[in-house]
Amino acid sequence: MAQSVLLTGGAGYIGSHTWVALREAGFHPVILDDFSNAAEDLPERLRAITGTAPEIWRGSVLDADQLGRIFAAHDIAAVIHFAARKAVGESVRMPLEYVQTNLGGLTTLLEAMRAAGVFRLVFSSSATVYGVPDRLPIPEDAPTGFTNPYGFTKLAGEQVLQQLAASDPRWAIGILRYFNPAGAHASGRIGEDPRDVPNNLMPFIARVAVGDLPALQVFGDDYDTPDGTGVRDYIHVEDLAEGHLRSLSALLDGGGGHVVNLGTGQGYSVLEMLAAYGRACGRVLPHVIAPRRAGDIAACYADPTRAADVLGFRARRGLEEMCVSSWRWISWRTGREG
């Protein structure tokens, strides 16, 4: 009998790729999602990739009754908690909504888990909890901080979980600090699919590649980096999904909790990403230098050692595959392929 795993926000970018990885590993992944940032045709695309129609409960992680019904309907072995708001800029404009959704959603979920006797949780965190890093690459024991309400909710969420685990040994919690997710499933049928204006670099580059944007705005070229543009640790979303599977398996195997970076340890600049995407789509993609974006840091990349030591996880896919897979997805999604 396949073990059931609840994926809150499982219809999102990382969640949907993790759903595929869990399904292919023999789990029964159950999605809870309000589809506020997911396309209505996603379930059919997940079925097309795996041959299995996903079990989806439409609703919010803030709905305790809905959570109770899910835990009553399934013997949930563990929960992977993706459901959260994640746009830095939006969080500055709407701090209360970010606290309500990201922290209120977490505590509502934890209460429902405890009531159901489910104590294994994988938590979606972010390198944003390092604030402005004081060293590179960044190890997990680097100082933490926040520079915006989104980062606050991620760090506060981690600390709620650390205190919960310290108070009750039944909890086994994996905290995964994502660096910069990028790319798409190799099938080209799921990928980053922002409903409105994208927040992140690769979806913007993809919009230039399909001709929806005339040029990429490069937010500053005067940083203290090799080519002056921002350096980040991009990790392929399929590697990220694998990292969740490793964390889940460690918890199910009776391993204790862990806090790990999910990154490659390799930084790439904005211009390097743009050039790589141009090679993937077969043309030079135009850019203009724009002013720095408020809150941006020069460089950020992971020390990935602990994930390898604790979970046996290493990212395998490189920048080229992130760009090729993204281009395959976005050209299919927009009908520009061929």
Residues that bind ligand WQD (CB under 6 A): 86, 88, 126, 128, 178, 180, 199-201, 204, 216-219, 230, 232, 270, 293, 296
Contact 166, 257 (CB under 8 A): no
Q: Which is nearer to ligand WQD, 43 or 105 (CB)?
A: 105
The yes-or-no answer on residue 150 being catalytic is yes
For the record, the structure tokens of 137 come out as 């690459």
With respect to ligand WQD, which residue has the nearer C-beta, 157 or 230?
230
Shortest distance, position 233 Cβ to ligand WQD, whole Å: 9
The overall longest dimension of the chain from CA atoms, in Å, is 57
Smaller CB separation from ligand WQD, 4 or 200: 200
Please state, in angstroms and rounded to a whole number, the distance separating the CA atoms of residues 92 and 328.
33
User: Which residues have a Cβ under 8 Å from the Cβ of 184 and sit 6 or more positions away?
Assistant: 190, 191, 192, 237, 325, 326, 328, 329, 330
- Choose the catalytic residue: 98, 150, 223, 234: 150
| Minimal distance, residue 73 CB to ligand WQD, in Å | 30
Q: Record the tokens describing residue 94, joined without a space.
A: 């709407």
8 Å CB contact between 277 and 327: yes
CB closest to ligand WQD, residue no: 230
Closest separation in Å from C-beta 327 to ligand WQD: 17
Beta bridge partners of 31: 7, 56
Least distance from C-beta 212 to ligand WQD, angstroms?
A: 13
Q: Calculate the dihedral angle through the C-alpha atoms of 318, 195, 157, 2, rounding to the nearest 10 degrees.
A: -70
Closest CB 192 distance from ligand WQD, rounded Å:
10
Instruction: State how far the alpha carbon of 71 is from the alpha carbons of 65, 67, 186, in Å.
Output: 10, 6, 33
Strand partners, 232: 268, 300
Is 4 or 128 the residue whose CB approaches ligand WQD more closely? 128
Which residue lies nearer to ligand WQD by CB, 135 or 293? 293
107-110: long-range contacts, CB 8 A cutoff, minimum separation 24: 107/160, 108/61, 108/62, 108/63, 108/64, 108/67, 109/8, 109/61, 109/67, 109/79, 109/81, 110/160, 110/164
Indicate which residues carry an active-site annotation: 150
